[in-house]
Amino acid sequence: MPTTSSISHEIADTLRSEILRQQYRSGERLPSERDLASRFDANRGAVREAHSQLEQAGLITIQPGGARVQAIESASIAILGPLINLEEFPDPELVSQFLRTFGALAAGSAREALERANADQLGRMQAMVVSLAKHSKEIEVVQPLWVEFIEYMVEVADNLVVRLIGNDLKAQFVEQMVQFRFKPKLNKKIIDEVLDSLQQGLTRRDGERVGAAIQIYFDELRFSIVQDIDLRLDTLQK
Read off the pLDDT of residues 60-113 as tens digits, 9 standing for 90 and up: 999 888 899 999 999 988 888 888 888 888 888 988 998 998 899 999 999 999
- Per DSSP, the chain holds a count of helices (H) and strands (E) of 11, 2
For 227, what's the count of Cα atoms within 13 Å in the CB-facing half-sphere?
11
Share of the chain above pLDDT 70, in %: 97
Which SS3 state, helix, strand or coil, does residue 137 take? coil
pLDDT in tens, 156-171: 999 998 888 888 887 7
Question: Is 1's pLDDT higher than 70?
Answer: no
Q: Which domains, and CATH codes, for the chain?
A: 4-73 (1.10.10.10), 79-237 (1.20.120.530)
- Residue 5 CB neighbours (<10 A): 10
pLDDT score for 129 = 97
Cβ atoms 86, 21 nearer than 8 A: yes
Predicted TM-score (pTM) of the model is 0.83
What is the DSSP secondary-structure string of 58-77?
A: TSEEEETTEEEEPPGGGS-G
Compute the distance between CA of residue 39 and CA of residue 45 in angstroms, rounded to an integer. 14
pLDDT band at 121 (very low <50, low <70, confident <90, very high): very high
Question: Is 226's pLDDT higher than 50?
Answer: yes
pLDDT score for 34 = 94
pLDDT score for 89 = 81
pLDDT score for 60 = 96
pLDDT in tens, 173-204: 776 676 777 777 889 999 999 999 999 999 99
pLDDT score for 3 = 60
Average pLDDT, the chain: 90
pLDDT band at 234 (very low <50, low <70, confident <90, very high): confident
Question: Is 4's pLDDT higher than 70?
Answer: no
pLDDT band at 2 (very low <50, low <70, confident <90, very high): low
Question: Is 46's pLDDT higher than 90?
Answer: yes
